[in-house]
Structure 1
Amino acid sequence: MADGQRLLVKVTRESLPQIRDKYPFLYLERGRLEVDDSSVKWLDADGQVIPLPIATINTLLLGPGTSITHEAVKTMVAANCSVSWVGEDSLLFYAAGFLPTADTRNLKQQISLAADDDKALEVARHMYARRFPDAELADKSLAAMMGMEGQRVRSLYQQKAEEYQVGWKGRQYVPGKMELSDITNQVLTSCNAALYGILCSVIHSLGYSPHIGFIHSGSPLPFVYDMADLYKESLCIDLAFALTRELAGRYNKHVVSARFRERALKMDLLSQTVDDVQTLMGGGKRGRRSRQ
């Protein structure tokens, strides 16, 4: 796949972050991380050896075909650079390594907001204001706003079904049995999963927790689901109905993945998510995790 179609492009010496920057994350795939002369080196599949300025990176995202030495992990911990294991372009999120030396400032801020009912409700209102820019939300309870959102999404599904002239019987998903759903629901499920993977990577990279949400609760990744709702309309829902018509009833995961990437690139999803998370948590530029 060409770099122009990738969310996260191949690392080269020219594309590395400058020392004046503090990057939230750097994505690597098909290569090996090891230590040489006390610095972390990336050995890619083409035989290039690229020194990584890990002191300028919050998190390395390790994609398919990567390996890492024990010594590299030790050196990265000393530089306060964490590691996450992800699928291609971070469309799936598998695991994250947590640092004993990590600065927990952002996590503390998130917990402080979530633990205060009034502050948590205010964060939720800011999220809903993105979807209801003309509504007066100041006196709305969380339950009332969730009701508004449920009605909006149901209407949106029907609107898209009519726009693309496809049948729609409602959102249906059986965990682990995606093939039992119709093609629109299959594409929705796949796109949602890809979006969740990207958001998990970004949230971890910024030093926040995907487990502490403001709208969703009783689920594994409430903050991820909170954030995902900001982007689903154009990135997942519209795409699902558009592809239902394009694929003519035959699900094709390669087409779905390619179209999702195109839309994510067009909306600059990675940068947008970083900015949105920091703004919602009240950090702005101050929200970036710094070294101790």
Structure 2
Amino acid sequence: MSTVGKRSLSSPRELTRVGDRISFLYLERCTVHRDDNAITATDADGVTHIPSATLGTLLLGPGTRVTHQAMALLGESGAAVIWVGEHGVRFYSGGRALTRSSGLLEAQATAWANRRTRVEVARAMYRMRFPDEDPAGRTRDELLRMEGRRVKECYRRESARTGVPWVRRDYHRNDFSAGDAPNQGITAAAQCMYGVAHAVVAALGCSPGLGFVHSGHERSFVLDIADLYKTEIAIPAAFDAAAAGEDDVPTRTRRALRDRINETGLLERCADDIKKLLRYPQLTAKQAAFSDEDADKVGLQTDSGHLLAGGRNYGDEPIW
């Protein structure tokens, strides 16, 4: 019997916009399967149906098993799927874009490939994070020092607000439990924010690896985007979770972070911020002609910089 799917691939118009999706869903100790256009989570308490098209990111924790059919549906729906280890200290992800256009990816690559525009985007990122401090003309080294000071200030401010003692950021890669409560919360919040940012980056068709502040990692751009909301959303959620007690800090952090993401409309804001950073609304006429996200358009590049329509033979036609 053939296992080739008979259902046609959904168009972007048929898929839920990333800005309208649930931020993330965490599952553990269950089997994830598929039932029509929903995924199911089966555990000792029974079967829970989850509409796949509403998910931004699915976090699969310890004890989870997932079927091929479930992954096929999640991939078609454009949801990011992340396997996280105990306490969320491992990160694996996948997913497909919700767009058929390469416009944003080309805008990202164009800005990244030029040293001047790359630092301009980095400055714009810092301007979003710290609007009261003008990064114009700052070098990369100055931007990094500025970020370091502001993040330390955020730790001290959240410690004073919540009453949670704070010493320093202390992340133990191979021993999550070695960190104190606020450090565990910050690590858990960071992993969730990476998942959310990766879901938006993948949904928009951007490259996770072409970063403007971070570099050299397969998720450099994901780290860039997640950091935009670190001091505003992630760190406060971690300190709130730590203030409630030292037990089960990662779970409380995820819940607090989920609430903050939904309250602030972060998914839609994140998509808009990426487009603004890459100056996507200011594309050239050539790019704009091929930026329809709802259609499969493949152009052919000419030496003069024009895009010709694909699917035609130009053997006997002039190419300008």
**Structure 1 letter corresponding to 2:268:** S
Pick from 163, 169, 173: which aligns with 2:161? 163
Structure 1 partner of 2:311 = none
Is 2:37 aligned against 1:42?
A: yes
TM-score (norm 2): 0.66
Q: Is the 8 A contact 1:127 1:230 kept in 2?
A: yes
Greater shift, 271-280 or 234-243, is seen at 234-243
Q: 1:241 to 1:202 in 2, by over 3 A?
A: same
Alignment of 1:71-110 (within 5 A): 84-86=80-82, 94-96=92-94, 103-110=101-108
Q: Is the 8 A contact 2:95 2:202 kept in 1?
A: no
CA distance in 2, matches of 1:214, 1:156: 23
Pick from 220, 229, 232: which aligns with 1:231? 229
CA distance in 2, matches of 1:150, 1:158: 13
**Structure 2 letter corresponding to 1:95:** S
Q: 1:266 to 1:84 in 2, by over 3 A?
A: closer
CA distance in 2, matches of 1:161, 1:61: 30
Deviation, 1:117, is: 1.0
TM-score (norm 1): 0.71
Number of aligned residues: 255
Cα deviations across residues 194-225 of structure 1 (Å, max 9, x unaligned)?
00011111101100011110011233421111
CA distance in 2, matches of 1:288, 1:150: 40
CA distance in 1, matches of 2:58, 2:249: 26
Q: Unaligned stretches of 5+ in structure 2?
A: 1-10, 26-31, 41-46, 283-287, 297-320
Deviation, 1:112, is: 1.0
Identity of aligned residues (%): 26
Q: Unaligned stretches of 5+ in structure 1?
A: 1-16, 34-40
CA distance in 1, matches of 2:251, 2:56: 26
Q: Is the 8 A contact 1:32 1:66 kept in 2?
A: no
Higher Rg of the two aligned structures = 2
CA distance in 2, matches of 1:125, 1:246: 36
Alignment of 1:1-292 (within 5 A): 19=13, 23-24=17-18, 30-32=32-34, 41-43=36-38, 45=40, 67-69=67-69, 84-86=80-82, 94-96=92-94, 103-247=101-245, 249-284=246-281, 289-292=293-296
SS across alignment from 2:244: helix
Deviation, 1:230, is: 1.3
Q: Is the 8 A contact 2:155 2:235 kept in 1?
A: yes
